[in-house]
Amino acid sequence: MLKEEVMLRRHKAEESSPWAPFEDRRRARDEKREAVLRMAVQMFLDEGYHRATLNEVAARLNITKPALYNYFRSKEEILIECYRLGQDMFEASIAASERENGDGLDRLRRLIRAYAGVMMTDFGMCLVRLDDRELSSEARARVRKAKRTYDAAFRTTIAEGVADGSIRPRDAKLATLVITGSLNWIGQWYRPDGELSPAAIADEFALRLTEGFSARRPRSKKSEQTRR
Amino acid sequence: MLKEEVMLRRHKAEESSPWAPFEDRRRARDEKREAVLRMAVQMFLDEGYHRATLNEVAARLNITKPALYNYFRSKEEILIECYRLGQDMFEASIAASERENGDGLDRLRRLIRAYAGVMMTDFGMCLVRLDDRELSSEARARVRKAKRTYDAAFRTTIAEGVADGSIRPRDAKLATLVITGSLNWIGQWYRPDGELSPAAIADEFALRLTEGFSARRPRSKKSEQTRR
Amino acid sequence: MLKEEVMLRRHKAEESSPWAPFEDRRRARDEKREAVLRMAVQMFLDEGYHRATLNEVAARLNITKPALYNYFRSKEEILIECYRLGQDMFEASIAASERENGDGLDRLRRLIRAYAGVMMTDFGMCLVRLDDRELSSEARARVRKAKRTYDAAFRTTIAEGVADGSIRPRDAKLATLVITGSLNWIGQWYRPDGELSPAAIADEFALRLTEGFSARRPRSKKSEQTRR
Amino acid sequence: MLKEEVMLRRHKAEESSPWAPFEDRRRARDEKREAVLRMAVQMFLDEGYHRATLNEVAARLNITKPALYNYFRSKEEILIECYRLGQDMFEASIAASERENGDGLDRLRRLIRAYAGVMMTDFGMCLVRLDDRELSSEARARVRKAKRTYDAAFRTTIAEGVADGSIRPRDAKLATLVITGSLNWIGQWYRPDGELSPAAIADEFALRLTEGFSARRPRSKKSEQTRR
DNA sequence: TATGAATGAGCTTTCATTCAT
DNA sequence: AATGAATGAAAGCTCATTCAT
């Protein structure tokens, strides 16, 4: 399955082109479709959606532009599929993180790790790096709805943590924005050839976003509010 | 001056066009230049740089496309100026936050508030919402260098807080990514017509990013490391 | 008068701008008109008519583009005036050369010298360096008619030389093309800062075009015709 | 090959368009490329480079403007190719004229005929009719270098003729200018539908430029110099 | 299935010219 | 007489998409 593959670190898509010259040109249609998506997502991320031309995508796959139209009806459909793969990964990952037990704080940390892990894959970072305004309004609406469900998972989990006492009571909406912002931004800076492994990064974010950086005792809720 | 203006919440640029029909058409050249920038930055943010056409920018200002060339040499120059205004704001804001005293943690919180404040202005959010790959390589290099100095301000402040004991020792680089990611992402969701004021948002981020959300005592450094 | 001036070697038109800052800005209208023409012809020759923009012409004269429209109705009118000045020079020069006596050969040589002399002035070389297709059809017709009269002067003189025995009988039309081509091309390579003076060049052309370069006795008309 | 074709008189390019409607639209890519060049060079010569629009070139070939970009990367590349074809012709022609024997005068006459012959083809006259300032500086430098080599061929041949006594001693540089000017100007007036054949014209120029028109004995070198 | 070729729509940019002051 | 500002027209170029083979 494609999903497992893309969870791995990005590999050079060029090397795995099913159209590589002198190679067996007969493979399953789905394999080729996936190869197109893998190449396309890399170029969309590297160059930006509108600067990544289908000509160039095709050229890197050793095929020609019209051949792409055998697998996708339009450039937008390729983009939609990239989003969909990312969405699938986020949804699977979030669902998995929710299947385990623990108090709200534990579950929030697992959720953070799960979300961060997907954010460090090509298709995962699509959701935050690519501009969904390139999509038609219907497709854009679906993508945005999906994104909202991920935010909702965070908000719900935080609320549950507040309820069970493992998370200090805060505005759950703002808390969600603090946490998801930090996680979404990973897609902007993460490079697979960096020093830290995705797992190490995910762990660190899970801790820091919950424990903070202060060495001081947290102020009481009351004292906080008197600050301004 | 423009800087003060743009610090305010976004106002509908249409209403303040110096070319509004039936209005006095003689105003200072700089005012018009600024009006172009205010309109352009809104359109760049709303539509994306390449979908925002100069025709549309001009039309909303009640002028025609070539008239823009009286003030800017190219579309890219408009973009560069948007970035520059944002950079000026970040630099002034960061510098101001560094002029006050306090331990590292206090200064980190002030820096967060300062940075977040700019991130909620049109020109400030340019730096994180617009794609700097649209720029020529020289301009892009300048923008990226500027961004790195903002990150460096966070990293330095964190390191100072660790040194003076106000911040728990962590990897300063990752801590910076956690914090700046959360702040940068503000540019993606902030809307001036939201419920919370920019100041309230900035304060909340300053607290949450330093104190975290956990109600539990932070683990010792040692126990953390044994986790994996 | 302008005509005398332009017969001289090109001088830096910048230095003689009647709008030079800090100078008396009140001079006769004709002087300014001439200054525009001198600057324009240099730019037309240096850059080519369509690459020489009125903005640049005006800027070098320390005025603005619309100011040019006080003196000329259009860019084309400037071009027309450049042609006209060149035509005046050619016509005066040819007429002068025809006022003196001598046999056909002598008069041909004088005509060559006269024509070559004008060809080494800015306005003179306009007629061969600038593209008269930039002109409206009426203006173009006038220019082409003028050019034909210069050719006719050569053809007539040659015919007279043949009649009086000073010029060997040749096809007068082709002879004219040989001679005027060589002279017209001067406008393409002549530079006022070259080694040879215009007079020296004119003399040399007058001799070489009539005596040729062969050291052998010319073949008889008959033997020539058997060549092919 | 294209070279042979273009040596012939210009034929109406419209009639030979590979895109002529209702014709077989499948021909070799090179044929189409050449057809574009033939049409383009005619329009460049007829209208001037910048007035000849790609729209018009394409329309006359029964295609649309962007289709031209299948064969050329830019309008300038089309121009460069026109120059290159002309250069190839000049170089082949000059080289051929130098392979035969004879004294300097004979060789000069052959060179004149060869050069004049190319000057009466569309691609040949490109070099003198089109403005090489339209080219980028690199391409322009190459074209000007090529032109200088043609001049050098004349100068060298003249010098050899002086050395072997077949050409009267003159300033070789000015002699070259006299001769090449006359030849270059052919490109300005030659029309393929004229009375004289290119060969007849070339022969006449070869004779007249070497023998001159004077019926008198040439003056001695000494007397010449006392003239001024 | 795959391709070479072609297209249509759209964009930025340039510049002579005009207008209001 | 002179100017800053604005405009209209037009050009080159790009690219997703389609078509005939």
Kindly determine whether residue D178 and residue C205, on different chains, have CB atoms separated by under 8 Å. Answer: yes
Which whole number is the average pLDDT over A68-77?
A: 94
Better-predicted residue by pLDDT, D217 or B188: B188
D18 — pLDDT class (breaks 50, 70, 90) = low
Q: Which two tokens stand for residue D95?
A: 């080289």
Residues of D in contact with C212 (CB under 8 A): 208-214
Per the DSSP assignment, residues forming a β-bridge with C167 are D214
B115 — pLDDT class (breaks 50, 70, 90) = very high
Half-sphere exposure of B120 (CA within 13 A, CB side): 22
Please report, rounded to whole angstroms, the spatial distance between the CA atom of protein residue B55 and the C1' atom of nucleotide E10.
11
| pLDDT reported for residue C15 | 54
Is the model's pLDDT at C143 over the cut of 90? yes
Which whole number is the average pLDDT over A3-18?
A: 50
Please report, rounded to whole angstroms, the spatial distance between the CA atom of protein residue B75 and the C1' atom of nucleotide E12.
8
Name all chains with 3 or more CB-CB pairs below 8 Å to chain A: B
Query: Does B have 3 or more CB contacts under 8 Å with A?
Result: yes
Largest interatomic CA distance in chain C = 73
Among partner residues C134, C174, C210, which is closest to D214 by beta-carbon distance? Answer: C210
Largest interatomic CA distance in chain B = 72
Residues 26-85 of B with CB under 8 A from A: 47-48, 50-51
What span, in angstroms and rounded, lies between the C-alpha atoms of D156 and D148?
12
Is the CB of residue A187 less than 8 Å from the CB of residue A129? yes
Check whether residue D66 has its CB closer than 7 Å to nucleic acid strand F: yes
Name all chains with 3 or more CB-CB pairs below 8 Å to chain C: D
Kindly determine whether residue B181 and residue A165, on different chains, have CB atoms separated by under 8 Å. Answer: no
pTM here is: 0.86
| pLDDT reported for residue A201 | 97
- Residues A67, A73, A74, A79: is their CA dihedral positive or negative? negative
Q: Which nucleotide lies at the shortest CA–C1' distance from C55?
A: E15
CA distances from C57 to C52, C61, C192, D62 (A): 7, 7, 21, 40
Per-residue pLDDT reduced to its tens digit, A111-164: 999 999 999 999 999 999 999 999 999 999 999 999 999 999 999 999 999 999
Kindly determine whether residue B185 and residue A189, on different chains, have CB atoms separated by under 8 Å. Answer: no
| pLDDT reported for residue A45 | 97
Assess D196–C contact: CB distance below 8 Å, yes or no: yes
Per-residue pLDDT reduced to its tens digit, B28-59: 788 889 999 999 999 999 999 999 999 999 99
Is the CB of residue B114 less than 8 Å from the CB of residue B94? yes
Centroid of chain to Cα D39: 17
Better-predicted residue by pLDDT, A58 or B225: A58
Among partner residues C161, C171, C181, which is closest to D185 by beta-carbon distance? Answer: C181
**Nearest residue for F6, CA–C1':** B67
Is the model's pLDDT at D184 over the cut of 50? yes
| pLDDT reported for residue B218 | 62
What span, in angstroms and rounded, lies between the C-alpha atoms of A60 and A40?
10
Q: Supply the mean pLDDT for chain A.
A: 86
Q: Is A149 helix (H, G, I), strand (E, B) or coil?
A: helix
End-to-end CA distance of chain C: 54
What span, in angstroms and rounded, lies between the C-alpha atoms of A159 and A136?
34
Check whether residue B133 has its CB closer than 7 Å to nucleic acid strand F: no
Q: Residue C167: phi, psi to the nearest 5?
A: -125, 135
A17 — pLDDT class (breaks 50, 70, 90) = low
Assess A103–B contact: CB distance below 8 Å, yes or no: no
Check whether residue A70 has its CB closer than 7 Å to nucleic acid strand E: yes
| pLDDT reported for residue C3 | 43
Return the amino acid letter for D152. A
Is the model's pLDDT at B16 over the cut of 90? no
Please report, rounded to whole angstroms, the spatial distance between the CA atom of protein residue C183 and the C1' atom of nucleotide F9.
40
Which whole number is the average pLDDT over C75-104?
A: 95
Short-list D179, B14, D16, CA closest to C179: D179
Assess C163–D contact: CB distance below 8 Å, yes or no: no
Better-predicted residue by pLDDT, D199 or A3: D199
Is the model's pLDDT at C36 over the cut of 80? yes
Is the CB of residue C167 less than 8 Å from the CB of residue C104? yes
A62-71, B161-170, C86-95, C105-114, range with the lowest pLDDT: B161-170
Q: Residue B102: phi, psi to the nearest 5?
A: 125, 170
What span, in angstroms and rounded, lies between the C-alpha atoms of C155 and C171?
10
CA–CA min distance C119, chain D (Å):
13
| pLDDT reported for residue D15 | 52
B183 — pLDDT class (breaks 50, 70, 90) = very high
Please name the residues in contact with D181: beta carbons below 8 A apart, sequence gap of 6 or more.
Answer: C181, C182, C183, C184, C185, C186, C188, C189
Assess C215–D contact: CB distance below 8 Å, yes or no: yes
SS3 sequence of C70-112: CCCCCHHHHHHHHHHHHHHHHHHHHHHHHCCCCCHHHHHHHHH
Q: Residue A172: phi, psi to the nearest 5?
A: -65, -30
Please report, rounded to whole angstroms, the spatial distance between the CA atom of protein residue B37 and the C1' atom of nucleotide E17.
27
Q: Residue A64: phi, psi to the nearest 5?
A: -115, 160
Query: Does A have 3 or more CB contacts under 8 Å with D?
Result: no
How many beta-carbon pairs below 8 A join chains C and D? 148
Check whether residue D54 has its CB closer than 7 Å to nucleic acid strand F: yes
Q: Is A215 helix (H, G, I), strand (E, B) or coil?
A: coil
Per-residue pLDDT reduced to its tens digit, B86-110: 999 999 999 999 998 899 999 999 9
Check whether residue C139 has its CB closer than 7 Å to nucleic acid strand F: no
What span, in angstroms and rounded, lies between the C-alpha atoms of D49 and D56?
12
CA–CA min distance A213, chain B (Å):
5
Kindly determine whether residue C213 and residue D168, on different chains, have CB atoms separated by under 8 Å. Answer: yes
| pLDDT reported for residue C125 | 97
| pLDDT reported for residue A4 | 46
Q: Which two tokens stand for residue A198?
A: 């995705």
D144 burial via Cβ count (<10 Å: 0-12, 13-18, 19+)? exposed
Half-sphere exposure of D180 (CA within 13 A, CB side): 23
What span, in angstroms and rounded, lies between the C-alpha atoms of B123 and B80?
11
Per-residue pLDDT reduced to its tens digit, D100-153: 889 999 999 999 999 999 999 999 999 999 999 999 999 999 999 999 999 999
A70-79, B3-12, B76-85, B112-121, range with the lowest pLDDT: B3-12
Among partner residues A105, A166, A186, which is closest to B181 by beta-carbon distance? Answer: A186
Residues in C 52-111 whose C-beta is less than 7 A from nucleic strand E are 52-55, 65-66, 69, 73-76
A177 — pLDDT class (breaks 50, 70, 90) = very high
CA–CA min distance C211, chain D (Å):
4
C6 — pLDDT class (breaks 50, 70, 90) = very low
Q: Which nucleotide lies at the shortest CA–C1' distance from B56?
A: E11
Nucleotides in F strand less than 7 A from protein CB: 1-21
| Minimum CA–CA partner of B221 in chain A | A207
What span, in angstroms and rounded, lies between the C-alpha atoms of D58 and C105?
52
Please report, rounded to whole angstroms, the spatial distance between the CA atom of protein residue C66 and the C1' atom of nucleotide E17.
9
| pLDDT reported for residue C97 | 94
Kindly determine whether residue C215 and residue D180, on different chains, have CB atoms separated by under 8 Å. Answer: no
**Nearest residue for F2, CA–C1':** C67
Is the model's pLDDT at B221 over the cut of 90? no
Is the CB of residue A104 less than 8 Å from the CB of residue A157? yes
A92-101, C87-96, D214-223, range with the lowest pLDDT: D214-223
Kindly determine whether residue B174 and residue A108, on different chains, have CB atoms separated by under 8 Å. Answer: no
Check whether residue B65 has its CB closer than 7 Å to nucleic acid strand F: yes
**Nearest residue for E2, CA–C1':** A67
Q: Which nucleotide lies at the shortest CA–C1' distance from B69?
A: E13
| pLDDT reported for residue C219 | 56
Q: Which two tokens stand for residue B21?
A: 């029909």
CA distances from B207 to A176, B191, D177 (A): 14, 21, 84
What span, in angstroms and rounded, lies between the C-alpha atoms of C62 and C66?
12
Q: Residue A182: phi, psi to the nearest 5?
A: -60, -40
Q: Residue C62: phi, psi to the nearest 5?
A: 60, 30
| pLDDT reported for residue B214 | 66
D98 — pLDDT class (breaks 50, 70, 90) = very high
Return the amino acid letter for C49. Y
Q: Which two tokens stand for residue C42?
A: 């240099």
